[in-house]
Amino acid sequence: MDLDEGFLKTGKLQSDFLQKLLGKIDILDERVAIGPGIGEDAAAIDMGDHYLIVKSDPITFVQDRIGWYAVNINANDIAAMGGRPRWFLVTMLLPEEGTTTSMIETIMRDLQDSCTELGISLIGGHTEVTRGLHQPILSGTMLGEAGKTRLIRNSDISEGDLLYITRGVAIEATSIIAREKRDDVIERFGSDFYKRCLRFIEEPGISVVQDALRICDAKPAPRITGMHDPTEGGVLMGACEMAAAAGVGLAIDTAKVPVFEETRLLCDHFSLSPFGLIASGALLVAVNAAERERLEVLFDEKGISLIGEFLAQGEGMYLVENGGRTELRPSARDEITKLFD
């Protein structure tokens, strides 16, 4: 069915349709070093002696700790481009039913605490009660800075570069699944398991800022050709977006992608793929093959995993399974949306 023939499903827009929309945008300021495009985490503006990096992202899947999510998700995208997050603005849209002053105060406290933890200044935004909403929505805009030699563009990825992932997949999703399916999870796995899953947003955590800074601040730093914070659509969508930004092919070995035991058990129980689940907390890193050792020594042996390689332009995108290749076609619809069908 063509996109204009019916209503769209929950989730990201299809990449080809989104690319068509973005292709119609005219950039009027020559200082825009990175503008709208698939596979780039944020925009970058040349300020002369440094780059200003700007990102805007909403939080729509969760209600609890929504302020925490808003700050960390937006900060991740600044860090994934080699920058340091500095300033944050947030638009808070609240439903007519269920909104109380104490709820608003809790969200604001969470926003402030999360900003303070990362050294970010909360500098403004907008708050209102909005008709037609069933739960709060926060849309944040994060601004950061990067030195002239630190800016990372996924369009710089080349054939032969290697793809790594830090930690594991679906960290954010693990916490969301437990929260949304609380009674079911406790009945099947017990309250201790449920509490562990809830804590995934803090341990191992959904922030990739420190991992990105560890790479960029290293002396000498490994020659990173791309980084990406995979969110909706999971690690497969994120990796494909990186390849699309550079116009290269991609091969991913899913057997090498680390999956936490809690995540695996939840996915088996709810019939979800961990590779297509919202994945904040992992950082995808593309590195020149000659630099792999320099990258690996920055993390302990369980901190980063080699999961794939970028191929020549025109070779396509593949999953490597059981010694063979199958075409990689990630869904723009995150696996987690199946919980709400």
**20 within domain boundaries:** no
Domain that holds residue 125: 41-147
Q: Whole-prediction pTM value?
A: 0.89
Tell me which of 147, 172, 195 is where a domain ends: 147
Q: Check whether residue 158 and residue 56 sit in a common domain.
A: no
**330 within domain boundaries:** yes
Phi/psi of residue 204, nearest 5 degrees: -70, -15
The percentage of residues in the chain with a pLDDT greater than 90, rounded to a whole number, is 75
pLDDT in tens, 16-54: 787 788 778 888 889 999 988 777 779 999 999 999 999
pLDDT below 50 — which residues of the chain?
Answer: 1-3
**Count of domains for the chain:** 2
Q: Check whether residue 143 and residue 234 sit in a common domain.
A: no
Q: Check whether residue 171 and residue 139 sit in a common domain.
A: no
pLDDT on residue 19 = 75
Contact in structure between 156 and 243 (CB atoms under 8 Å): no
pLDDT on residue 1 = 37
- Please tell me whether residue 143 adopts helix, strand or coil conformation: strand
Within a 10 A sphere around the Cβ of 106, how many other Cβ atoms? 15
pLDDT on residue 278 = 92
Q: Determine which helix (DSSP H) or strand (DSSP E) holds 251, and give its type and residue range.
A: strand 249-253
**195 within domain boundaries:** yes
Tell me which of 147, 180, 200 is where a domain ends: 147
pLDDT on residue 2 = 45
**9 within domain boundaries:** no
Side chain identity at 236, as an amino acid letter?
A: L
Query: pLDDT averaged over the chain?
Result: 91
Q: Check whether residue 176 and residue 131 sit in a common domain.
A: no
**24 within domain boundaries:** no
pLDDT in tens, 128-144: 999 999 899 999 999 99
